[in-house]
Amino acid sequence: MNPATVRSTIPGPQGALECALDRPAAGAPNHGALALLCHPHPLHGGTMDNKVVQTLARALVPLGFTTLRFNFRGIGASAGQWAEGQGEIDDALAVLAAHRQPGQPLVLGGFSFGGYVATQAAARLAALGPEQTARRLVLVAPAVTNFVAAAVPTDTVLVQGELDDVVPMQAVLDWARPQQLPVTVLPGAGHFFHGQLPALKQIVQLAFSSFARPDSP
């Protein structure tokens, strides 16, 4: 993402998992929160360096977040093989366990397949109790057609492209409707938000501009 990105590997369920950490610059806002960002489908070219995932990171780092991207098993320097979406949830939780400090505020995010993983990871963490629960989610065109995305809180930031031909807008609306979940639709945007990444960044920054620790004034 930038020269300050710290790349490393951590032990995962099937071997090493490749990670990329971006921290706020010295002197910039830093409220100590961690944002774990999940990439698109690993069998269809998805990696942690996907432009939409990087846009999420670029939106959040200046607001004071440390962002954590990673490659699912079998991608880049991450060991293992595709595990039908279930093992990939385990990957996300393993990466999180290796980096999150006790009590550290957490945001979970993802694009496409990564959005599905983020919802399921959030559900697993919530089942462990309030200390583990993510403070908020940010989902971009989450895969709700080929995978079973978990229900999410109504303050989840959900962004969808109007002309998405991979995850149709109608499918996302049908998933969001029973949850009374607001959806921000970018007119004219396709699945990969070509030409719309600045608008996506702005939407995310506006939604998270007031994020702070629970005990902050």
Average pLDDT, integer, range 13-17:
97
Whole-model pTM: value is 0.95
Which whole-number Å values give the CA distances from 139 to 5, 11, 27, 78, in the listed order?
A: 23, 26, 29, 23
In this prediction, residue 162 has a pLDDT band, given cuts at 50, 70 and 90, of very high
The pLDDT tens digits for 100-114 are 999 999 999 999 999
DSSP state of 2: -
pLDDT score for 2? 64
In terms of phi and psi (left: phi > 0; alpha: psi -120 to 50; beta: otherwise), the region of 138 is: beta
pLDDT score for 215? 45
In this prediction, residue 217 has a pLDDT band, given cuts at 50, 70 and 90, of very low
Cβ count within 10 A of residue 134: 23
Domains of the chain: 6-208 (3.40.50.1820)
pLDDT score for 142? 98
The pLDDT tens digits for 88-138 are 999 999 999 999 999 999 999 999 999 999 999 999 999 999 999 999 999
Question: Does pLDDT of 151 surpass 50?
Answer: yes
Question: Does pLDDT of 154 surpass 50?
Answer: yes
Rounded Cα gap, residues 177 and 163, in angstroms = 19
Q: Which two tokens stand for residue 150?
A: 């978990």
At 21, the amino acid letter reads L
